[in-house]
Structures are given as C-alpha cells and as structure tokens.
A and B are shown apart, each in its own frame.
Chain A
Amino acid sequence: MSYINKPRVAHPSLPTNSLGMTRRQYEGSMSTLCAGCGHDSITAAVTEACWELSMRPERLVKLSGIGCSSKTTAYFVSGAHGFNAVHGRMPSIASGANAANRELTYIGVSGDGDSLSIGIGQLVHVIRRNVNMLYLIENNGVYGLTKGQFSASADIGTKAKRGEVNATAPIDPVLLALSLGATFVARSFSGDKAQLVPLIQAGLRHNGFALIDILSPCVTFNDHEGSTKSYTFARENYHAVVEADFVPPAEEIAVEYAAGEAVPVKLHDGSQVVLRKLDPSYDATDRSAAYAYIEAKLKKHEYVTGLIHIDENSSTEFHTLNHSATLPLNSIPYEKLSPGSAALNKLMNRYR
C-alpha cells in the first residue's frame, strides 16, 4: 500500500471511449494490497475492459465476499454499484440482485479461499443456475490475509514459504465449472493483460455464467522457489491453448487469420469472440474434449490458459430457466409487485 493517493493528474493525450471517458475515469479508490500483488493487475485489466466496452459505470454491479481478492472491487469503476457480501456468500447476493434486475451487468470478484473453501457450496450452485454474470477467481493458492496457509487450490507438491509441502489434492475451478455445465470457462494469468482483457470483455458479454480462473501470485506468501503459483513458475509453465479476440458488435473482424486457425463465435449482443487456436487439435466448443485436455495437462503441471470452453448456443440463462420477470423489479409499479392481501389470499387458496 502507499501513503499517497494516485494523483488525479493524467496523461494529456489519453484516448477516450465512445462515452468520452478516459481509462482513468474507470478507476476506483487506491489499493491497499501488497506492492506487486497480482490482484492489482487484474483490477487494471477489469478497468481497461470496462473502459474499452464503454460500460456506463451506473449499469455495472460489483460483488465480492471476503479476502484480499474481495477487497479489489473497491479499486475499479468507483461509479458502479457494489456489494461486499459475507465470506463465500457473494453468489447468493449476485443471484438475488440478478433476479431483481436483469438489465445490469454483474461482475463478482472472489478468491480461492472465498470460492473453493468456505464458499464452494455457493459457487457450484451459481454455476448450475447459470446466473448471468462474470465471476473472477483471483487464485493464488494461499490464504494471504491469515499469513499464507495453503488454500484448496494449492497443488500437490507446492511448497509454503516456510518449507511445508502440500499433500492435499487441489480443487481446480476450471474442471469444476466444466463438470457443472458452465458455458464460458477460461483461465488466465494476472501478468498477461493481452490475454486477460479480451477474456473479461467476452465474459461480461456472454449470456450466462462466465468463469475466469486467474492465476494471481501472492507476492508476500507465495512467490518463492518451490511454489507453483509464483510469477516465475507461471511464466515457465504457461500453456496458452486458445487466445480470444473480442470484437464489439458494430465492428467487423479486421484481423486476417490463417484458415483453420480462427473460429468466430457470435455472442447474444452481436459482439464476437474470435478463438485463435494455438494448439490446432484443441476444440474449445467441445466440453468433454476440453475437460480431458485440461486434466491431462494439469497432471504435467502445465497451466492451460485462454478461453477453454465456450458454448453460446446451449447456454440457457438463469431468467429463462426460471421464467422470471422480464423487467427489473424497480420498474414494475408497486401495486403490481405487491397486489395486496386479497390477491395473496386468492393465491393461497389455490394450495388449500
């Protein structure tokens, strides 16, 4: 953390988006995380993605639980709505908010502790229910706030800062999400914004639940030799399989791709994701193939990154599944929302 705030002064020739806003105007308050924390880079990537999408800050909802990761929602888009939930319970709040107003854009930020330990029961159901939101897991393999104990995502054989070796099997959020039918599953690394920013944009535009597991090294407790979640290890074992280019609705795909190498996927709002396959044998639209591929690579300690699975066609989003109100509840007249005791009695009589 720093004693001074980031000065308001900005580069005089910063570009503006279609709302006339600069990237700086999508920032939040000053981070109090450790210097060099991967989470801060992810914050910068979210800021960049929201700016590039010309997102209206007041149309964005930021949700989080507890932990280092969950502090980060305060550090981007200060004009957005925010809710800091109980530890591991952010998915419930997100589901409720989403049920009440489907017109806003939801972004949940969580960590490996918040999502894979205390909150795993919530996470699996928000995936199943396909709540329309982007869910980021800032995954560093340790509990940073409590001095660096192994978390549920720590790999077998990884070493703690004090030298203990982890022997407990990890939970891999990507495999978990694939097994639960998620229709947008990606993995990335905080140190690679070129990959991460388009993934965030695509995730925000995906119709349904989008999960990005982001390796985000803990500089204080898990960035040493022997750790499998350090900057060095990540860069040495980085295996990008599918890069995603995000193309907004009004734009044509400008870059030319070699035949067979790029697959465009149309999202429901008209934007497109162009999947650039770095491994020609890989098919991101085939869930079981993706599962097998990731599992095989994980055994070799290779971190497969990129847009691992996308299925825009069969994604049946939360509201469709539940036949819920098409309008935000706050735009429905009070009398209709609360029709009174007579109407309630009438309803109750149907069950008597």
Chain B
Amino acid sequence: MEPTDTSKSDYFHKVVDCQWACPAHTDVPEYIRLIAQGEFTDAYMVNRASNVFPGILGRVCDRPCEPACRRGRIADKPVAICRLKRVAADQRDDISALLPKTPDQKNGKRIACIGAGPASLTVANDLLPLGYEVTIFEQFAVPGGLMRTNIPAFRLPASVLDEEIAYIVNMGADLRLNSPIHSLKKLLQDSLFDAVFVGSGAPKGKELDLPGRHDTNRVHIGISWLESVAFDHIKEIGERVLIIGVGNTAMDCCRSSLRLGAKQVKVMARKPRQYFKASQWELEDAEHENIEIVVNHAPKSFVSEAGRLTGMLFEKLEYDIENGEITKTRNLGEVFIPCDDVILAIGQENAFPWIEKDIGIEFDPWSVPKVGSQNFQSTLKQVFFGGDAAFGPKNIIWSVEHGHQAAISMHKFCQNESIDDRLPRGVTLSSRKMGMHEWAFKNEYNGAERRLVPHVGLVERFKKINVEVELGFTAEQAALEVQRCLNCDMQTVFAAPLCIECDACIDICPVDCLTITHNGTEADLRTRLKAPAKNVAQALYVSTGLPHTGRVMVKDEDVCVHCGLCAERCPTAAWDMQKSNISIPHAINQKAVACQI
C-alpha cells in the first residue's frame, strides 16, 4: 500500500465515526468532553454550530451517529450521544449573547424561504448574520414544519421547539405565519426576492387503495392525522386501532392513539421484524407501552358494514429467508382483524401543487425536483430546494445539513460567484501531550455500560397528550455516560522517521490494532496484522518505510480505543496523541466581497 496521506481532512474525519456519520458533522467528542467538564453552554454552542437545534435533536434525532459509534464495535453498546445532546440543551445557561449577530447594515439581498421547517430555518440562521433579509412563508399559525405537526408533543414538547425557533426568528427573520404560497410563479414575478429556498417538506402521506377504502371515514392518512392531533382538530379515536406500516410515523401514530383513548392498538407489519423501518428505540418505546406489533400480515381490504368500519382483511404470509433476503413467500390464508379506526403510515411523498409546470423547474416522474446534489440548486437558477422537499423524506438532521449547503449556494449566487466553488473541509491537529505520560484529555478507558434514560411511569404519562415521556439523564447518569466516549478525535499520529521498531506500542495496545510488517496490498495486509482486520469499512493506516528495517507501521483504525498507551510507551515520541479539528465550512466562512463589512 502507498503510505497513508493523513493531510486530507477525510482520513481523520472518518476516524471520528460519529462525526463522519452525522449529516451535519456535529463535533460529538468535543461536546461530550465539554459536558464532562460541566461546560453545558459551550457544549450546546458546539452542537448549534452544526446542527442548529440541539434541544430538538437531543430528543428526536434519527441518530445516525449511534450505530456508527466505535464503542458498538467492541462488544458494547454505543455511547448515548443523542441523550447527551439533550443534557447540554437542558443544562445550558442563557445563550442569547452567544448567538450570531445580525448586522444593522443589510447587504441589500433578499431571500424567501417557503415553509418554516428545519431546512428553511437553517438557511435563515446562516444568511441573517451575513446581512441578508430573509422572509419565511409558513402555511400554519406556528412555525416548525413537520417537527411540529408530525412529532407528537409527548416526544418533543412545544416549548423546546418554540425556544430554538425563536433564536433564529429573533435574529431578524421576517416570519409570515398563515401565509401559504399558492403560486411560485407569482412569487417570482413579483421580483421581491433575489433567491428562493423551497423547504416545504414531503407533506403527502401515501394512500393504500384497497377495496373498501372509501366506504368509511375511519381510515386516516398517518401524517395528516398526526397534524390534526397536533393542532387539536382530532381529540379522540376508537377503542381498537390498526396502524398499517412499521416506520417511525407508525410508532408516533400508535402511541398518539393510546393517548386519545384507544385501548387496543395493533401495528400491522407485512414482513418480519428484521425488515422494520422504525428505529430500534422507537420500537422499544412503543412496545413498552404495550403496543402489539403483528408481523407477516399484508393488508387485503377494508371491511365496513353500513358505512361503519368493522375491521380489515389481511393475508397471513410466511417467508423463506436466506442471508437476510426473502427467497420465497407463501400465503397462509385470510385473517380478519376487527377495528374501529385504521391509520395508514406507509410513507410520504413530495407534492408541489403550487409550483407551476411552465416556470422552468423540472421534476422527475415522482414529483421530486431535479436538484444539484451538492449545491441544492434547481433547474431554475434562483430557486433552491432543501430538506424533504429536495430528495424526498429523510429526517431533521439531513434537513439542517441541506439548509447549510443551500445557504452557501444562495450566498454565492447572490454575490455573483460560482456556487460550486465552495471551501473544502479542512483538518488541523494539535498535540495533547502535557508530560511524559500525561495527556490533556482523560485517556482511561471506562468499561461502564450504556445508561438507560429514565421515563415517566406508565400511568402518569397517559394523563395528558403532551406529557414528555423521556426525562433526560440525571446528573449522575450523564457524568458516567460521558466517560464512555472514546475520544476518537484524539488521533494517534505517527512519525515514521522517529521509530526505532522497539515494538512497545504493539505490545501495549489493548485492542491489537498495531503491527510492524513488510508492506503488501491492502487485502494481503489485512490478513497479516496482529488481529485480523475484517472490517473493510475502516481504514488501514500505513506509514512510510521505517528507518531501521524498511518495514511499515500498520494501524487498523477499526477498534482503536484512543487510550494513548501507544504514545505513552513510545520512547521516541513517534506516536503522539493529537486532537483533530475538522473544519466544516458554512455560509459565514465563505469569502464573498459584499460581506467584508
């Protein structure tokens, strides 16, 4: 293998698995250390710089960081990253003085954002400090988008939403509530705005057109139903409820049903558990509330008697599964399941009835707009898309990242610069060595198990629909959970010319990730290491030839616990523990003439 070039930002960025997995690249180890030091406000601000809504995301993020956590690869559970984010949010002081400042002198450019969801709010957050005038059009009487309408209040309290949205609105955004856009053509014709951002989400729930679907009014579309519940338009539901689909929306529907008076709620799944789309923790939370999840039932028809829904017919299926693939499906016959209401939670789609087909914005056959994957520009150059509106439904953290990237594009577009000429990511390293065996971070591995977040009791939580179920970590729990973080941003940095090949680092490494050997191809090297490097998703570091023998130092990044013992045992300081800082450019970092105020 060629010697590894660690000067590119990606190498060390990938080592910080959580930060690499996070769409917005939140600096997780840094904020966890700040929590450990009791610096909750700073921890919140580190979060806010990348994910904008730490309080919201600390409760309802999809948490791509957690399955990626290195801790999960050493026969343990990942660090409770998401719950620690909430600790930072819950314990922070007043941060208003730390928010980005909006200049009094505006730059003369005006931006329209359609929909007041996470993507639009992020665009406003990034562009207001640069002097833009940002107007946000929201169809409802409250901002928040799907965060407000589709996430039940028992998971995400309105007060948390209000507070974090207010930070942005108070920076000077012109938020126009009850102002749906009916015609993009008209908005563009009025020429009030230099650029338009479409962050209107994917608001159309999928329909299930089976026999009997329209014989009753007791079949509901999941996301519309949740929206009606959020706005108090729906206050009750029948005793027996069937939820069709087993994604995260289904989990919110079933748990909301329980709070509206349902006694018996069944989630109907077509396939076995391994194919469920819902996040593991959302499934657990629902099952903890005695929701029954029924597998291998495919909906066949809705059954009504005299206009009243009585139940649904399903086909009971059986599958042959080989290596995770369904190879054969057998129909075991029909099953009737009685119910009073059915909620369809089988997905959602984009819908843009308010975008005229003749204004130059192209769509694919599924109503998804054609949008640049990096610059978020549509085929009409002053219109940008982000969040679920851009590429179909994803999640909040992706919407935030889309907002950041679209803001960069809109900034460059308004300043007549090439929108594809963006700042690259960078990496800086600085040593954390304090003394012979002392590091400016806590390098001792803590074997504690993942803490479980406390919940409100099963009686108390159903008394009102907006009783928040999760309580957040206690101070003691948080203090222990932060110690589980492996500090993956404390990089092991190797200087081959200093190495005397004494083997000290290899002998002391607790997880056998170091080897000095003769160079070879990557596939060959992976078999010749001290412990086999089977996880090809994780990089091998290969040094230049070592001075004494010309062999190479190889490090398998897979399960390194960043304990620093290699560097402590190194007599020549060829290994050092250095903190990597990955710079993720946002709009404010981009050079633009008009902003050199």
Determine the distance from Cα of A12 to Cα of B535 in the docked complex, in whole angstroms: 11
- Is the CB of B465 closer than 8 A to any CB of chain A? no
Interface stretch of the complex, out of A40-48, A98-106, A132-140, A271-279:
A40-48
Q: Quick one: given A14-B531, A36-B571, are A231 and B502 in contact (CB under 8 Å)?
A: yes
- Residue of B444, B507, B572 touching A40 (CB-CB under 8 A): B507
Q: Is the CB of B569 within 8 A of A235?
A: no
Within 8 A of A (CB), among B543-597: 548-549, 559, 561, 563, 565, 568-572
B107 in contact (CB, < 8 A): no
Known: A36-B570, A36-B571. A12 touches B504 (CB 8 A): no
The answer to whether B502 touches A3 (Cβ under 8 A) is: no
Q: How far is the CB of A81 from chain B (nearest CB, A)?
A: 23
A6, A11, A41, A231: most-surrounded residue (chain B CB, <10 A): A11
Quick check: is B73 within 8 A (CB to CB) of the other chain? yes
Is A87's beta carbon under 8 Å from chain B?
no
Contact across chains for A193 and B503 when beta carbons are under 8 A apart: yes
- The reply on A349 being an interface residue by CB < 8 A is no
- Given contacts A2-B437, A10-B511, A235-B549, whether A191 and B501 have CB atoms under 8 Å apart is yes
Which residues of chain B have C-beta atoms less than 8 A from A254's C-beta? none
Whether, in the assembled complex, B508 has its beta carbon less than 8 Å from a beta carbon of chain A, the answer is yes
* Contact pick for B502, options A2, A8, A9, A38, CB 8 Å: A38
A327 within 8 A of B: no
| CB proximity of A10 to chain B, nearest CB, Å | 6
Residues of A within 8 A of B572 (CB): 36
Contact B570 A35 (CB under 8 A): yes
Give the shortest distance, in Å, between A144 (CB) and chain B (any CB).
13
Q: Is the CB of B559 within 8 A of A12?
A: yes
A-facing mask of B291-320, CB < 8 A → 1, else 0?
A: 000000000000000000000000000000
Does A19 belong to the interface (CB within 8 Å)? no
The CA-CA distance from A8 to B232 in the complex, in Å, is 54
B512 near A14 (CB under 8 angstroms)? yes
* A-side contacts of B501, CB under 8 Å: 191, 231, 235
Residues of B within 8 A of A1 (CB): 437
| Neighbouring A residues of B561 by C-beta, 8 Å | 7, 9
What separation, in Å, do the CA atoms of A15 and B565 have in the docked complex? 22
Q: How far is the CA of A211 from the CA of B595 in the complex (A)?
A: 77
Interface status of A111 (Cβ within 8 A of chain B): no
A231 with B565, Cβ < 8 A, contacts A7-B510, A12-B73 known:
no
Q: Does B74 contact A (CB under 8 A)?
A: yes
Q: Does A316 touch B at the CB level, under 8 Å?
A: no
Tell whether A41 pairs with B511 under 8 Å between CB atoms, given A12-B73, A35-B571: no
Residues on A with C-beta less than 8 A from B510 are 6-10, 24
A183 to chain B, nearest CB (A): 30
- Contact of B68 with A by CB under 8 A: no
Q: A190–B503 Cα gap in the complex (Å)?
A: 9
Quote the shortest CB–CB distance from B74 to chain A (angstroms).
5
Contacts of B437 in A (CB 8 A): 1-3, 35
CA distance A219 to B571 in the complex (A): 7
B531 touches A11 (CB 8 A): yes
Report the minimum CB–CB distance from A111 to chain B (whole Å): 17
Find out whether the CB atom of B568 lies under 8 angstroms from the CB atom of A2: yes
Which residues from chain B contact A3 at a C-beta distance below 8 Å? 437-438
CB under 8 Å from chain A, chain B span 472-518: 500-504, 506-508, 510-513
Which residues of the partner chain B approach A10 to less than 8 Å between Cβ atoms? Answer: 510-512
The smallest C-beta distance from B487 to any residue of chain A, in angstroms, reads 13
| Complex Cα spacing A2 to B445, Å | 13
CB-based contact A219/B502 at 8 Å: yes
Tell me the residues in window 441-457 of chain B with beta carbons closer than 8 Å to chain A beta carbons: 443-445, 447
Q: Is the CB of B507 within 8 A of A7?
A: no
Range class of the B interface residue count: 35 or more
Q: Say if the beta carbon of B97 comes within 8 Å of chain A.
A: no
A227 vs chain B, min Cβ distance (A): 13
B75 proximal to A (CB < 8 A): yes
Contact A6 B548 (CB under 8 A): no
Instruction: Establish whether residues B74 and A36, one from each chain, have CB atoms under 8 Å apart when the complex forms.
Output: no
Residue B534 interfacial (CB < 8 Å): yes
* Given the contacts A7-B445, A9-B74, A44 and B507 also touching, CB distance less than 8 Å: yes
List of B residues within 8 angstroms of A94 by Cβ:
none
CB-CB under 8 A from B508, the residues of chain A are: 2, 6, 40
Docked complex: A34-89 residues within 8 A CB-CB of B? 34-38, 40-41, 43-44
- Any A CB within 8 A of the CB of B212: no
How far does the alpha carbon of A3 sit from the alpha carbon of B445 in the complex, in Å?
12
Task: For B535, give the chain A residue with the smallest CB separation.
Answer: A13
Q: CA of A9 to CA of B75 in the docked complex: distance in angstroms?
A: 9
Q: How far is the CB of A6 from chain B (nearest CB, A)?
A: 5
A13 x B532 contact (CB < 8 A): yes
Give bound CA distance, A3 to B507, whole Å. 17
**Contact of A117 with B by CB under 8 A:** no
Contact partners of B512 in chain A: CB under 8 A: 10-11, 14, 23
Are A12 and B570 within 8 A (Cβ)?
Answer: no
Contacts of A191 in B (CB 8 A): 501-503
Query: Nearest Cβ distance between residue A273 and chain B, in whole angstroms?
Result: 24
Considering only CB atoms, which chain B residue lies closest to A12 in the complex?
B75
Whether, in the assembled complex, A203 has its beta carbon less than 8 Å from a beta carbon of chain B, the answer is no
User: What A residues does B500 contact at CB under 8 A?
Assistant: 36, 223, 231-232
A217 within 8 A of B: yes
A315 CB to nearest B CB, Å: 32
CB nearest neighbor in A for B559: A11
What's the Cα separation between A190 and B501 when bound, in Å?
A: 10
Complex interface: chain B residues within 8 A of A232 (CB): 500, 548
Tell me if B531 and A35 are in contact (CB < 8 A).
no
Give complex CA distance A34, B436 in Å: 11
Known interface pairs A36-B572, A40-B569, A232-B548; A8-B447 also in contact (CB < 8 Å): yes
Contact residues in A for B513 (Cβ distance below 8 Å) = 11
Cβ of A11: which chain B residues have Cβ within 8 Å of it?
A: 74, 511-513, 531, 559
Interface centre among A24, A34, A36 (most CB of B within 10 A): A36
How far apart sit A10 and B437, CA to CA, in the bound complex (Å)? 22
B residues 74-129 in Cβ contact with A at 8 Å: 74-76
Please give, as numbers and ranges, the residues of chain B lying within 8 Å of A6 by CB-CB distance.
Answer: 508, 510, 565
CA distance A235 to B500 in the complex (A): 10
Q: Which residues of A contact B (CB under 8 A)?
A: 1-15, 23-24, 34-38, 40-41, 43-44, 190-191, 193, 217, 219, 223, 231-232, 235
Sorted from nearest, which 3 A-B pairs have the closest CB atoms? A36-B571, A7-B445, A44-B507
A2-B569, A15-B531, A193-B503 given; 12 more Cβ-contact pairs under 8 Å: A7-B444, A8-B510, A9-B561, A11-B513, A11-B531, A36-B571, A40-B504, A43-B507, A190-B502, A190-B503, A223-B500, A232-B548
